[in-house]
Amino acid sequence: MDMEYLVGRMAWSKAGRDKGKPYIIVEALDDRYVLVSDGVLRTLDRPKKKKLMHLSVTDSVFSGENMDDLNIAKFLGSYDKIKEV
């Protein structure tokens, strides 16, 4: 199964201490695990390993030319504000 299509997609955490937090999928490890980043606590240097079953993957795609922590944080910032309202 080709999981590379997930890279760049936004996902909401469904389980764990970070439940309800938005992330960007930065790497697909295998058919069960991905690495996610929020650009702030979980930077591209220290992504979080997360099971796909604990994520709700959306159709929103990070479309930045260069994926870096600042752009990821800005992209996800708008989703955090929507969630809080």
Do residues 41 and 50 make contact, with C-beta atoms less than 8 angstroms apart?
A: no
Q: What is the pLDDT of residue 63?
A: 79
Do residues 57 and 3 make contact, with C-beta atoms less than 8 angstroms apart?
A: no
Q: What is the pLDDT of residue 83?
A: 57
Q: How far apart are CA 8 and CA 25, in angstroms?
A: 5
Q: Which residues of 40-71 are buried (b: 16+ CB within 10 A; e: fewer)?
A: eebeeeebbebebebbeeeeeebeeeebeeeb
Task: Specify the pTM.
Answer: 0.86
**Digit-coded pLDDT (tens) for 55-82:** 999 999 987 678 899 999 999 987 765 5
Q: What is the pLDDT of residue 66?
A: 82
CATH architecture of 4-84: Roll (2.30)
Domain boundaries, the chain: 4-84
